């Protein structure tokens, strides 16, 4: 390994190897058993990644992953993840009532559940650390491993059983939200856990963390300052809480060399009609991957904390397969807008704030026949709670409306479904 950070990576590999061996993740087989195998062993490799801690330090992570793309025999693989709308709703309650929100991280989560199939064999990579090496490179999996196709489902079933044993109840609205009678709520997103609880339940929350630590190796980050790439800011005067994504936006801008771009006040130019690009004789982009990379980078910000760019991103996504020069210019304009508004955050007011609104308030809107290409309309909705947006959407409608009234009714119908949920 010739990397300048080789000492960090070797240390991360040692930690991963130790976790694998302590969890009894696999069992080695001897050469006679290896010759009698009726299935072909699946390969494995190391994957390296850096991750920023809530305190701003960098963590080096090394994962031994199985080459799951070579799997041919497996069962159910689906595993749900927590909804961003659910997280924002919970954040609004934190701001309104002054609850605590803690961030827990399950270390090597996928190494915990047992594999039900006894016929998954794997070859260890040549770089398996010396001193921890086995007598043979072929092993039989006892527990799940990262990149195993059924690993996410096995992990979700395992922690689901654990939380139910701790007297949590699974929410019918979101299968990754768990509630308890003492007011403790837990939202799962793979191996990241957001625990929310009123201050009167602080002692019970400590007990829940202790019980989880008995079964899993848990990293307790304390009061959440970051979750799923969102920074969580608590107002010092107790007037609310504000999630934002300045770090993500800064990373995106640097990735596309737009950190020094000129500021703009709107995400789109109202005078540019994207659907008329071909009619204007514009050039079609030969390399569409650059355009797709920009739009893909904007997606998470539009879904998580930036409803102000959701309309623009939805419009740009329509041209991912065949973008023209004006589409690339429009995508860069969104980056310029994010650069000038990187400090923007959602804000959820506390119940003590004079401007706080405890009721869920929704708005819907639609244009009519604005897209000359197919005659469909763009509809959208946004729902506010504690003066902050908890849910929003902007997308083309499935039906072609014959009037502005029909277009508004379709948008209202889509918004009503979200309100019902």
* 3-state SS record for 231-279: EEEECCCCCEEEEECHHHHHHHHHHCCCCCCCCCCCCCCCCCCHHHCCC
Q: What is residue 287's predicted lDDT score, i.e. its pLDDT?
A: 86
To the question of pTM greater than 0.85 for the whole model, the response is no
Distance CA 114, CA 142 (A): 6
Collect all residues with Cβ–Cβ distance below 8 Å to 5 and sequence separation of at least 6: 60
Residues near 410 by beta carbon (within 8 Å), at least 6 away in sequence = 366, 377, 379, 397, 398, 399, 401
Q: How far apart are CA 241 and CA 233, in angstroms?
A: 6
Q: How far is CA 105 from the centre of its chain?
A: 14
Residue 339: closest CA among 253, 235, 228: 253
Element (H, E) at 163: helix 151-165
Sheet holding 192-197: strands in order across?
A: 169-170, 177-179, 185-189, 192-197, 100-106, 218-223
β pairing state of 177-179 and 100-106: unpaired
Which of the residues in the chain have pLDDT under 50?
131-133, 354
* 3-class secondary-structure state, position 177: strand
Give Cα 294 to chain centroid, integer Å: 18
Q: Which residue has the tokens 């604005």?
A: 370
Question: Residue 103 in contact with residue 221, Cβ under 8 Å?
Answer: yes
Q: How far is Cα 119 from Cα 74, in angstroms, rounded to an integer?
A: 10
Q: How much of the chain is in helix, strand and coil states, percent to nearest 5?
A: 35, 25, 40
The residue among 60, 3, 52 whose CA lies nearest residue 250 is: 52
- The predicted pLDDT at position 138 comes to 85
* Burial of 1: CB neighbours in 10 Å, binned 0-12, 13-18, 19+: exposed
CA distances from 290 to 211, 248, 272, 297 (A): 47, 18, 21, 11
369/379 Cα distance (integer angstroms): 11
pLDDT of residue 131: 46
């Amino acid at each position: 390994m010739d990397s300048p950070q080789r000492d960090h990576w070797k240390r991360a590999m040692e930690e991963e190897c130790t976790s694998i061996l302590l969890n009894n993740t696999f069992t080695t087989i001897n050469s006679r058993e290896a010759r009698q195998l009726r299935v072909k062993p699946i390969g494995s490799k190391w994957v390296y990644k850096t991750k920023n801690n809530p305190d701003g330090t960098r963590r080096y992570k090394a994962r031994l992953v199985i080459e799951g793309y070579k799997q041919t025999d497996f069962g159910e693989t689906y595993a749900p993840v927590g909804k961003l709308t659910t997280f924002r709703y919970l954040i609004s309650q934190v701001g309104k009532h002054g609850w605590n929100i803690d961030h827990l991280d399950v270390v090597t989560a996928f190494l915990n559940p047992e594999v039900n199939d006894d016929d998954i064999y794997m070859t260890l990579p040549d770089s398996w650390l010396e001193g921890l090496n086995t007598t043979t490179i072929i092993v039989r999996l006892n527990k799940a491993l990262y990149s195993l196709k059924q690993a996410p489902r096995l992990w979700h079933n395992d922690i689901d059983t654990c939380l139910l044993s701790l007297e949590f109840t699974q929410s019918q609205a979101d299968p990754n939200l768990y509630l308890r009678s003492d007011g403790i709520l837990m939202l799962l997103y793979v191996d990241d856990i957001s625990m929310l609880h009123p201050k009167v339940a602080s002692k019970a929350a400590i007990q829940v963390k202790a019980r989880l630590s008995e079964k899993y190796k848990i990293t307790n980050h304390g009061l959440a300052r970051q979750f799923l790439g969102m920074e969580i800011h608590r107002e010092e005067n107790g007037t609310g809480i504000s999630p934002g994504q300045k770090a993500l936006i800064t990373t995106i801008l640097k990735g596309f060399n737009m950190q020094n771009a000129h500021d703009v006040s709107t995400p789109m130019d109202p005078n540019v009609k994207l659907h008329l690009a071909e009619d204007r004789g514009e050039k079609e982009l030969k390399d569409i991957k650059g355009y797709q990379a920009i739009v893909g980078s904007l997606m998470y910000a539009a879904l998580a904390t930036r409803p102000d760019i959701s309309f623009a991103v939805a419009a740009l996504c329509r041209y991912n397969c065949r973008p023209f020069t004006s589409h690339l210019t429009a995508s860069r304009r969104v980056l310029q807008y994010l650069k000038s508004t990187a400090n923007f955050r959602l804000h959820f007011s506390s119940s003590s704030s004079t401007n706080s609104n405890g009721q869920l308030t929704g708005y819907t809107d639609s244009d009519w026949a604005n897209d000359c290409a197919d005659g469909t309309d763009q509809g959208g909705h946004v729902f506010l709670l504690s003066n902050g947006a908890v849910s929003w959407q902007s997308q083309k409608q499935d039906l072609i409306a014959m009037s502005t009234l029909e277009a508004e009714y379709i948008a209202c119908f889509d918004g009503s479904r979200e309100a019902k949920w």
